[in-house]
Amino acid sequence: MPRVKGGFKTHRRHHRILRAARGYFLGRGKLWRTAVIQVRRAWASAFKGRKQRKRDIRRLWITRINAGAHISGMNYSNLIHGLKDKSIELNRKMLAELAANEPSVFAHIAKMVKG
């Protein structure tokens, strides 16, 4: 039986990994074994980072809403609870935008909730 080295498919797989590792330091971008390790680690970090970014953005929204609520004389939890009680359906992203860019509108919403 003839010897099979993999040839085309192996070369294509190696090329895909090495292309992903382009720009890495020293052998991590040029040597197959170290490039595989580094690229897989990078993909794992990228996956975790996509989840982390969602958490970070939500924290930023909450911080902005809290700052706007404090200007209006209340805190974040009272504002959110009041919005739910009054059945005002504004998500945190929109509330944060209003608090940052339209403080007068946000103050009006806070006044509705407060009074």
Distance CA 97, CA 106 (A): 9
**pLDDT score recorded for residue 6:** 78
Domain boundaries, the chain: 8-114
**Selection from 74, 66, 112 nearest residue 92 by Cα:** 66
- Is pTM, for the whole model, over 0.85? no
Q: Report pLDDT digits (tens) over 41-87.
A: 999 999 999 999 999 999 999 999 999 999 999 999 999 999 999 99
CATH code, 8-114: 1.10.1900.20
Confidence label for 14 from pLDDT (cuts 50, 70 and 90): very high
Confidence label for 111 from pLDDT (cuts 50, 70 and 90): very high
